Structure 1
Amino acid sequence: MSAILTGVKTIREHWKKSILFSVLAYYGVDYLKDKFETNELMRVYCEEAVRFGNETTSVLETPRNITVILNPSANKAKAKVQFEKYCAPILHLAGLSVNVILTESEGHAKRILEKLDQTEAVVIGGGDGTVSEVITGLLRRCNNDASQNHVPVGVLPLGRSNTLAASLFPGGDKLSVVRSLADATMAVVKQNTKPIDLMKIEVQDDTNSKPVYAVNEIEWGVFRDARAVQDKYWYFGKLRNYATYIFNASQINSPYEATLVYSLPCPGCKNCKNVISNSENKWWKSLFGRSTSKQEAIQYVNVNPQCNQLIEKDVATTSISLRTTNTMDESNVDVPQLCINVGPDKIDYIDFVKQGVSQQPQIIDKVAARQVQLKPGIPESEEELSIDNESFELKPITVTLLPKAIKVFTK
């Protein structure tokens, strides 16, 4: 007791020690509070998962078999720990048979999926790059025919960039990371799915290259080039984002030149084979075969006169991007489309830093398209572009929209 009183008296009489003690006490209490709230949140999700695991099934039924492709290097090597802490317990309590495969290098996920068999779902544990790799492997496994892929995909936001997962499972509070991971895992358990669009990216005039698939964005320009070297400013800590744009403005007045050749969006016609049925999937279709309603037949034979028309446009810009509508408000999109965003031909230093930090580059021209050919003004260069936040060598490419090509688990 005397030791405690002596300690209290020392803290009271020495202001530096008092401040240090107050700071340590504050962070200690905050840590314990976060830990308690996290445990309570996980308890709620685990109890819900147990209810699924306790459901009665036939003795002839086997547990749902899912494959988790986990990138242990994602999010500064925190992905594996977070998966085991927040995702794996929910999957196991729900009675799922889980096969976890760790990726070992760049491109490994593609090779895994190309050979993967006998799984009811694939769950991706990683960031945007891992998502793109897994989906590319899935489509290659089906000989690049999206209609032949019947395996739904789950996305666990375990990377530093989680664009698709953030739109599917927004956190919204201090426990956003844990809540998003738990929501994404429960979506796999509940088997709620929705179709999303894909971009098929092919290198022009290269018959040996295989197509790559993406769900979010292709980006080229000064903002992309600055973010590509962001990691080397790690010693700035929370100011790293500012340092990235402050020290990488050398190209802002040297526009990137390219030619865009694109076709306009098509709601579905005989030319593009993008037929969208307006009729519902009624139970009698399974008995009598495909519906031959007048509405469906007309839609199939219709030919959109603009479908195969190509529009050529030369651009000189600081930034250009091609995006799907997966992370946008799809209620405002009537026809499946790619969104081409073109920035100004030059930008001043202050605006470059502001727009880069806020991640809202200025857009002066927007174009909607179904297919796009991107031809850089300098074909032979050492420049790079990003496909779902992964770097690729800059080459002339053709980007084709695949509407509603794959199903993902959602809330």
Structure 2
Amino acid sequence: MVKFAYEAYEEDLLRREYCAKAKEYGDQSAVFGEKNRRITVFLNPAARGGRGTKLFEKNAAPLLYLAGIEVNIVKTEYEGQVKEFFQFLETQHVDGIVVAGGNGTLIETVTGMLRKGDKTFLQKVPVGVIPVGESNKFASYFYGSDKTEVRRMLDAAMAVVEGRTERQDVLKIEGDEGKTIFALCGLQAGAYRDARERTPKYWYFGPLKHRFTYLQSALRGWPPTMTGELEYTEARDSDIAVKRQRQPDPVPNPESKGLLLSVLSLFSRLVRSRVTRPGLQEKEEEEDVEYLNTRTVNTDLNTVEFTVSSMFDKDKQSLGGVTLGLGPSDLSKADFIKQGWSRLGLPTWQVDIPGNDHVLCRIVKVRPVVPEGKQLWYTIDGEQFEAMPVQISLLKNKLKVFSRPQSNTR
């Protein structure tokens, strides 16, 4: 009880400190009479067991208001709503997007922005992430997985206040059925993913449930290999880049502004004034190119783990590819359990491990074989999707995001 009270007191002091910093930005913008900056917040009230709204209002909202930002809050009511909203949202409506939720809300936002197909919108409108959900892989990676929950939310909100931005790579995941998803971290499939997803079922083991799930997985359906067809195009220095002809951006619908404002009026809170946005040199978005003189490999897939990541080996990312990770095809039960337990201390955002085989690729195509009577799943940025044939590629420096370089522990 004493420890809980002390932690609550420390968190209140931290909130006061960040509020004072945010107020400095609001006071400064008021002195210079700048036009107010408009931020639309997609808030998932169901996040964290219904505590999403309370967490946002307690930790993030005060900073935005004190900084003099005009805040429009849209509370999501059903899956897919955020993606629909981007059909009407244009650059004249908003100066930034903030996602207050978990993995699912962020995937919807990124997918909605990229499906919109408006390059001007992507160049001008940055995205911020307030991690009020049960899990948010990208926020843990971007704002630091070693921080407390409250500090991570405060840092994320302060990133929006300060207005610094940088560009992030995006994974484009195209399904055979024409469905395209855009992600920031990566895709996982295989035995370790399946064991981790079953962990909540063993809640009665308390803190030991994270270890028991690997024991139980070793006793069922062994060997737990993922099979299918795999095709990938390697990313090499000898590849020749050729610029593609770009289609013109779509013309904004003049009726969309009135419709959007009527929707926002149901959800919004408005606060006048503006926060200054310090300039920061950014990486430019990579032009739409195709590569010649490439090498494509076709092989059978037989592995206990299959991953595709945008962030595993940043030293090689100048080549503009995704990292394909393949685990062993043959693994003893003891090694599986040992490896599973060793992963318990890894950051929540980590998609792959150094022990797997890795190939830097331009494009990865996988066609998994799903055994009759069973289901196979992918985890994409922390969200489950039914496995199907997919093609994965990297969109280099595609998304503009709010950042705090001095607080980033990557």
What TM-score comes out, normalization by structure 2 length?
Answer: 0.77
Q: Say whether 1:353 aligns with 2:308.
A: no
Number of aligned pairs? 351
Q: Give the counterpart of 1:158 among 112, 116, 132.
A: 132
Q: Give the counterpart of 1:193 among 165, 186, 189.
A: 165
> Residue 271 of structure 1 aligns to a residue in which SS?
strand
Point out 4+ residue stretches in structure 1 off by more than 6 angstroms.
Answer: none
Output one character per residue of 1:229-271: Cα deviation in whole Å (capped at 9) or x when no partner: 3332333332332232222332441421122211122678543
Q: Say whether 1:38 aligns with 2:11.
A: yes
Q: Which has the larger radius of gyration?
A: 1
Runs of 5+ unmatched residues, structure 1: 1-26, 276-298
> Residue 248 of structure 1 aligns to a residue in which SS?
helix
> Residue 28 of structure 2 aligns to a residue in which SS?
coil
* CA deviation after TM superposition for structure 1 residue 37, in Å: 1.1
Residues 138 and 381 in structure 2, CA contact (< 8 A), matched pair in contact too: no
Amino acid in the other structure paired with 2:389: P
Q: CA RMSD in A?
A: 2.9
Amino acid in the other structure paired with 1:36: Y
> Residue 318 of structure 2 aligns to a residue in which SS?
coil
Equivalent position of 2:259 in the other structure: none
> Equivalent residues in 2 for 1:2-401 (5 A)?
27-28=1-2, 30-57=3-30, 61-117=34-90, 118-142=93-117, 149-150=122-123, 151-170=125-144, 172=146, 176-204=148-176, 206=177, 209-249=178-218, 250-265=220-235, 270-271=241-242, 273=244, 305-307=292-294, 309-325=295-311, 328=312, 330-331=314-315, 333-359=317-343, 363-378=355-370, 382-401=375-394
Output one character per residue of 1:348-404: Cα deviation in whole Å (capped at 9) or x when no partner: 333323322433667442111011111113497632212112111211111121011
Mapped to 2, the partners of 1:274 and 1:221 lie a distance apart of 38
Mapped to 2, the partners of 1:229 and 1:116 lie a distance apart of 38
Mapped to 2, the partners of 1:168 and 1:274 lie a distance apart of 33
* CA deviation after TM superposition for structure 1 residue 313, in Å: 2.3
Mapped to 1, the partners of 2:119 and 2:228 lie a distance apart of 30
What TM-score comes out, normalization by structure 1 length?
Answer: 0.77
Amino acid in the other structure paired with 1:199: L
Mapped to 2, the partners of 1:266 and 1:128 lie a distance apart of 32
* CA deviation after TM superposition for structure 1 residue 199, in Å: 0.9
Residues 146 and 405 in structure 1, CA contact (< 8 A), matched pair in contact too: no
> Residue 293 of structure 2 aligns to a residue in which SS?
coil
- Report the more deviating stretch, 364-373 or 222-231: 222-231
Amino acid in the other structure paired with 2:143: F
Q: Which has the higher contact order (CA 8 A, sep 6+)?
A: 2
Q: 1:407 to 1:379 in 2, by over 3 A?
A: farther
Mapped to 1, the partners of 2:236 and 2:119 lie a distance apart of 18
Q: Percent identity?
A: 33
Mapped to 2, the partners of 1:196 and 1:76 lie a distance apart of 30
- Report the more deviating stretch, 396-405 or 148-157: 148-157
Output one character per residue of 1:150-190: Cα deviation in whole Å (capped at 9) or x when no partner: 321001122233222122212645xx111111111000111
